[in-house]
Amino acid sequence: MELLPVQINPDLTTRGPYVPFQKNYSIFRETLEFRENLQKQETNASICLGIVSAFGTLVIILVIVVTSLVFLRIYKRRQKQEILVKNVVSMRKNDDKESNKEINNNAKTTETTTDVPIVAGV
């Protein structure tokens, strides 16, 4: 590393280190400030991105939960309808059996009543 010679500072009358690259130093300082600002912006952007992704995840979870609840409700409704249909079918079968029994009983009673001989002219 090269040492800078100590010279009289043109701005001051006292002796001190003379920095011939004053403009370069100000550019360096501006670059540092720019980098610091850029880092702050990146930090803010990453925080915002994290918040947005968290809300996106919540929305996806809510959509999944709502659709599963809707499908569960449809499934339960179909089960209830199937049970009702089975009950109606079994009731109709029972009604058909009872009506068949009544028809058979009526047929038997009509057969027994028609077995009585009818005598003409008596």
**Which pTM value belongs to this model?**
0.44
Q: Is 6 helix (H, G, I), strand (E, B) or coil?
A: strand
What pLDDT is stored for residue 63 in this prediction? 97
Between the alpha carbon of residue 114 and those of residues 42, 102, 106, 110, 121, the distances in Å are 106, 18, 12, 6, 18
pLDDT band at 5 (very low <50, low <70, confident <90, very high): low
Task: Give yes or no for residue 20 having a pLDDT over 70.
Answer: no
The predicted-structure confidence for 35-70, as pLDDT tens digits, reads as follows: 898 899 999 999 999 999 999 999 999 999 999 999
